[in-house]
Amino acid sequence: MSEQIEIDSGKKGITLFVVIAMTFMATLDSSIVNVAMPVMSGKMNVPLSSIEWVVASYSIIICATLLFFGRLGDIVGKPRVFQCGTVLFTAGSLLCGLCHSFIPLIICRFLQGIGASAYMANNQGIITELYPKEGRGKALGILATAVALGNMIGPSAGGFILSFVNWNFIFLVNVPIGIAVFLLGLKHLPRSLKNSEPMDKTGAALQFGGTVLLFGALIEAQTSGFANLYILMALLLAAIFIVVFNGFEKKYRQPLLDLTIFENPQFSLNLICAFISFVCIAASAILLPFYLQDTLKLTPAQAGLFMMLSPLILAVLSPICGTLSDKTGAEGLTLSGLLLMASGFFLMSRLTEHSWINICAVFVSIMAVGQAFFQPANNSLIMSTCSKNKLGIVGSVNSLVRNLGQIVGITLSTTLLYSFMSRKLNIHVSDYIRGRGDVFVYGMNRVYLILVAICLLGAMLTAIRLFLPKKKGIQSGVHCV
Domains of the chain plus CATH, in order, are 9-200 (1.20.1250.20), 259-467 (1.20.1250.20)
Sign of CA dihedral 143, 144, 145, 147: positive
pLDDT at 469: 57
User: Closest by alpha carbon to 394, among 44, 128, 118?
Assistant: 128
Helix (H) or strand (E) holding 192: strand 191-192
DSSP letter for 3, please.
Answer: -
Give the pLDDT confidence score for residue 389 in this predicted structure: 57
Q: Give the C-alpha separation, 5 to 300, whole Å.
A: 44
Other beta carbons within 10 Å of 228:
14
Name the helix (H) or strand (E) containing 5.
strand 5-6
Q: What is the DSSP letter of 299?
A: -
pLDDT of the residue at 197: 75
Task: pLDDT tens for the chain, 481 residues: list them.
Answer: 444 444 455 567 777 888 888 878 877 777 678 777 777 877 888 876 677 788 788 888 988 888 888 888 878 888 888 889 999 999 999 999 898 888 999 999 999 989 988 888 788 777 777 776 666 667 776 776 676 677 667 767 777 787 777 888 888 888 888 888 888 888 777 776 677 777 888 888 998 999 899 888 888 877 777 778 888 999 999 999 989 988 888 887 778 777 777 777 777 888 888 888 888 888 888 888 888 887 888 887 788 778 778 878 877 887 777 777 767 667 777 888 889 999 999 999 898 888 888 899 999 999 988 888 887 777 777 766 666 556 556 666 777 787 788 788 888 888 888 888 888 888 877 666 776 778 888 888 999 999 999 999 988 888 876 665 555 443 333 322 3
Distance, CA of 233 to chain centre: 28
Q: Residue 431 has what DSSP assignment? A: S
DSSP string, 93-156: HHHHHH--SHHHHHHHHHHHHHHHHHHHHHHHHHHHHHS-HHHHHHHHHHHHHHHHHHHHHHHH
Contacts of 39 (CB under 8 A, 6+ apart): 162, 167, 300
Distance of CA 210 to the CA centre of its chain: 19
Instruction: Tell me what pLDDT residue 479 has.
Output: 27
pLDDT for the residue 419 = 84
Query: What pLDDT is recorded for position 476?
Result: 34
Residues 203, 19: contact at Cβ < 8 Å? no
pLDDT for the residue 383: 65
Coil, helix or strand at residue 352: coil
**How many whole angstroms from its chain centre is CA 216?**
17
Q: How far is CA 246 from the centre of its chain?
A: 24
Helix (H) or strand (E) holding 6: strand 5-6
- For the chain, the straight-line distance linking the first and the last C-alpha, in angstroms and rounded, comes to 21
The distance of Cα 274 from the centroid of its chain, to the nearest Å, equals 10
For residue 290, what are the CA distances in angstroms to 36, 132, 392?
10, 43, 37
- Distance, in Å, from the CA atom of 178 to the CA atom of 21, rounded to the nearest integer, reads 9
Whole-number Å distance between alpha carbons of 401 and 396: 8
What pLDDT does residue 1 have? 40
Contact 345, 298 (CB under 8 A): no
Q: For residues 118 and 396, what is the distance between their CA atoms, to the nearest angstrom?
A: 9
